[in-house]
């Protein structure tokens, strides 16, 4: 269904849309750093542009609209995927979608195997209706995840050690690209974690890299973009950018 957006003039105006609002709004944390970085840049931040420019079709990308905390419906019952920043950008060949996930050192949520289990098993003394609800919830998770894997052309039985968030965020960008009539999309992690001494990588990069490798779209180092791959009719790329927190 159509959605309505309200433009903002300062980063802190995204607080009402955060999961725990002020608890998630702290200097040095992802919501604060991502919104501050992008709004101060008044367009695509230089660090992000440097990664995008490595792909010929994304060179000179121009930001048209940016939507913070964009909710995208997923298959089946349950919560929508909430992309930290969904950007509509103009490329030489037409418009495209850039889905941005802000990170510092927090993990990408739950592993697929843990998420699929849902709530704990039946408890002693639990009423039958509660057990039935629990089983329906678990079945819905399986159906939702299978649908996401179908879009990404991955085997659901072969990805239990990866993070569920990366699956639904990637699919959200694909769904939004189709919704906006775009043919290209990039899912990019914009990290504000402290950069360790090489060859060590920033927090969570290994988890993202494992997902990218499983997608056959390797991201081998921070500041790089993957080869492209066609997913559900969308030419998709993955990327990671490491940046410095605001001062």
Q: What is the pLDDT of residues 70-106, one digit of tens each?
A: 999 999 888 999 999 999 999 999 999 999 999 998 8
Structure tokens, 237: 């790329």
pLDDT of residue 92: 96
Distance, first Cα to last Cα, the chain = 40
Q: Which of 203 and 19 is assigned the larger pLDDT? A: 203
- pLDDT mean over 53-65: 97
Model pTM? 0.88
pLDDT of 211 over the 70 cut: yes
Structure-token pair, residue 1: 């269904």
Alpha helices in 42-163, H assignment, sequence order: 46-52, 112-117, 128-152
pLDDT band at 229 (very low <50, low <70, confident <90, very high): very high
Nearest Cα neighbor of 240 from 106, 111, 102 is 102
The DSSP output letter for 198 is T
**Tokens of residue 74, six digits:** 């997923």
List beta partners, residue 10.
none
CA triple 227-113-72, angle to 5 deg: 60
**Of the listed ranges 3-17, 71-85, 103-117, 232-246, the one predicted with least confidence:** 3-17
CA distance 191 to 213: 19
């Amino acid at each position: 269904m159509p959605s309505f957006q309200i433009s903002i003039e300062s980063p802190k105006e995204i607080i009402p849309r955060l999961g725990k609002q002020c608890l998630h709004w702290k200097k040095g944390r992802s919501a604060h750093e991502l919104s501050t970085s992008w709004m101060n840049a008044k367009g695509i931040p230089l660090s992000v542009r440097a990664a995008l420019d490595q792909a010929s079709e994304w060179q000179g990308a121009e930001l048209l609209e940016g939507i913070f905390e964009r909710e995208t419906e997923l298959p089946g019952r349950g919560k929508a995927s909430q992309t930290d920043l969904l950007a509509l950008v103009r490329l030489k060949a037409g418009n495209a979608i850039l889905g941005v996930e802000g990170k510092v050192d927090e993990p990408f949520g739950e592993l697929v195997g843990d998420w699929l289990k849902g709530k704990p098993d039946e408890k002693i003394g639990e009423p039958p209706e509660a057990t039935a609800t629990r089983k329906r919830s678990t079945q819905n998770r399986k159906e939702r995840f299978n649908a996401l894997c179908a879009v990404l052309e991955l085997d659901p039985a072969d990805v239990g050690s990866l993070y569920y968030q990366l699956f639904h965020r990637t699919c959200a960008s694909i769904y939004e690209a189709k919704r906006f009539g775009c043919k290209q999309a990039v899912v990019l992690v914009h990290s504000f974690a402290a950069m360790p001494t090489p060859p060590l990588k920033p927090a969570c990069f290994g988890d993202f890299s494992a997902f990218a490798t499983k997608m056959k779209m390797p991201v081998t180092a921070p500041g790089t973009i993957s080869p492209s791959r066609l997913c559900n009719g969308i030419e998709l790329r993955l990327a990671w950018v490491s940046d410095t927190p605001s001062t």
